[in-house]
Amino acid sequence: MQAQRSRRSARIGDVAVATVLVVAAALGAAVVLAGSGGARILAPGNHGSHASWLVGLGGTTSLAGAPHDILEITLVGALVAWLVVVGLPAPRWWAWGGALLLAVAMAGPPLLSGDVFSYISQGRLFGVHHLNPYVVSPDDVPTDPVLPFVGWRATTSPYGLLFTLVCAAVAPLGVAGALWALKVLALLAAGAIAWLTARIARRRGVSPARATLFVVTNPLFWLYAVGGAHNDLLAVALSLGAITLSLDDRRLAPALAVASVAIKSSGAIVTAFLIAGSPSRWRAARVAALSTAVVVILTFVIFGPSGLSGALGLGGAHRVTRLSLPSVALGLTAALRWQPWLELTAAIGTVGLLVATALRRVDAVAAAGWSTLLVLSCTTLLLPWYAVWLLPLAAVSRSRSLRLATIAFSAYVIVARVTL
């Protein structure tokens, strides 16, 4: 009798999860179709263009209804679906449900952000025009065909050497080819994140299916990060690869972590905790130092001193977004005024967690997650897809409080995005 009840509960859970995932996918498809129809709030890179290479599989179909309403309904519905999924036992077919959401996000135009066109522009500056993207901005080449789609036209590259070289490598494919190459790369990185999350969770005694669903079904992951083809996915995939290698104390783990920083500076958090928590700490520090030296020297040789400052993301140091917790709590102007103190708070908290990790007082993965959450809470420049930095760390952590805090943070970002 007890076994029958357990099987019945499992079937009910499977049906519930299947239902909410299908609903989430349908809502995502509505965003894809509306964005394909030219709604700039859903696909900011459109700029009124309906080129087939841009709008994706949705063609130029436009849904009836205001894009604002479609976005708000989708975000709220996808948030509810995620909360239901993470609150139920993970079904056996979890991989197919996650893959469905990723495929929907991939199918349309770049969603909810035009950053991918900035990636293409920076790659074309170097790979096509042979200019330094850390000195020259997209505006400096007004005849480039990608310029009409670029939002930040006067901004130089804030990304690392490795990502700049990736963008330059796809630049010869043309604007359309580069766009879809970067979208495919983002999808592959998302798949790698899902696989690595499951693998790390299994090694750490956490349910692989639940951990992966925690990441993949979060709308900030599949709708924003994958839908927008953000490079955060590639950086996080490399960080998780480093964590996977570190579980066996592999020598290359710190090098892979440094590679994530060479994509985007946000990877530095996991890199620091990986070294602090390594069983062979000094060896890990030496490998990381050597890898960093290689990246720094190559960056200097190829791009000069400007490449070093640009790769650290210093260009966004004085920006503020309405979504950030400081701007909501203090107002935009006050948030900028308090920015140095907020950064100091995040730095002190991170150093404290690093010391505790080095002394074996706390788990390195959980400490990296808490540090990431602290940084995201203190930054004045918060964008929805930055949650990708946090989600896998919380998913594979044994800390229930970190997962609950991550759920609260994700809910805040989505609700704030809908209401602000």
pLDDT in tens, 275-314: 999 888 889 999 999 999 999 999 989 988 877 776 665 5
SS3 content of the chain, % helix, strand, coil (to 5): 75, 0, 25
Question: CB-based contacts of 193: which residues, under 8 Å, 6+ apart?
Answer: 215, 216, 233, 236, 237, 240, 388, 392
pLDDT in tens, 68-88: 778 888 888 889 888 888 887
Residue with tokens 């690869």: 241
pLDDT band of residue 64 (cuts 50, 70, 90) is: very low
Per-residue pLDDT for 369 more than 70?
Answer: yes
What is the pLDDT at residue 245? 93
Return the sign of the alpha-carbon dihedral for residues 51, 52, 53, 55: positive
What is the pLDDT at residue 8? 58
Stronger pLDDT, 27 or 209, i.e. the higher one: 209
What is the pLDDT at residue 238? 97
Residue with tokens 């879809």: 180
What is the rounded average pLDDT for all residues in the chain? Answer: 85
% of the chain with per-residue pLDDT over 70? 85
Lowest mean pLDDT, pick from 20-34, 237-251, 339-353: 20-34
A 10 A CB-CB count for 93 gives 14
A 10 A CB-CB count for 3 gives 7
Lowest mean pLDDT, pick from 26-40, 137-151, 179-193, 228-242: 26-40
pLDDT band of residue 108 (cuts 50, 70, 90) is: confident
Per-residue pLDDT for 57 more than 60?
Answer: no
Nearest to 17 by CA among 77, 91, 101, 96: 91
Question: CB-based contacts of 86: which residues, under 8 Å, 6+ apart?
Answer: 210, 213, 214, 217, 407
CB 214 within 8 A of CB 86: yes
pLDDT band of residue 52 (cuts 50, 70, 90) is: low
CB 197 within 8 A of CB 240: yes
What is the pLDDT at residue 48? 47
Cα separation, 258 vs 265, in Å, equals 9
Q: At what angle do helices 400-419 and 364-378 cross, to 10 degrees?
A: 20
Lowest mean pLDDT, pick from 47-61, 165-179, 295-309: 47-61
CB 236 within 8 A of CB 263: no
Stronger pLDDT, 42 or 321, i.e. the higher one: 321
A 10 A CB-CB count for 318 gives 10
For 389, how many CA atoms within 13 A lie in the half-sphere containing its CB?
28
Per-residue pLDDT for 391 more than 90?
Answer: yes
Stronger pLDDT, 109 or 236, i.e. the higher one: 236
**Alpha helices (H) in 217-330, listed in sequence order:** 219, 232-246, 253-261, 268-276, 281-303, 305-311, 325-330
DSSP-assigned letters across all residues of 23-68: HHHHHHHHHHHHHHTT-TTT-TT-TT---HHHHGGGTT---SS-HH
What is the pLDDT at residue 58? 47
What is the pLDDT at residue 63? 45
Nearest to 227 by CA among 187, 168, 170: 187
What is the pLDDT at residue 51? 54
What is the token pair recorded at 318?
Answer: 């004085």
What is the pLDDT at residue 37? 64
Lowest mean pLDDT, pick from 186-190, 301-305, 403-407: 301-305
pLDDT in tens, 244-284: 999 987 889 999 999 999 999 899 999 999 999 988 888 99
Q: What is the dihedral of CA 10, 11, 14, 19, to 10 degrees?
A: -140
What is the pLDDT at residue 234? 96
Cα separation, 116 vs 226, in Å, equals 11
pLDDT in tens, 133-170: 999 989 999 999 988 888 888 888 889 999 999 999 99
What is the pLDDT at residue 9? 54
The most confident of the ranges 106-120, 184-198, 300-314 is 184-198
Per-residue pLDDT for 175 more than 70?
Answer: yes
- The reported pTM is 0.90
Cα separation, 307 vs 161, in Å, equals 8
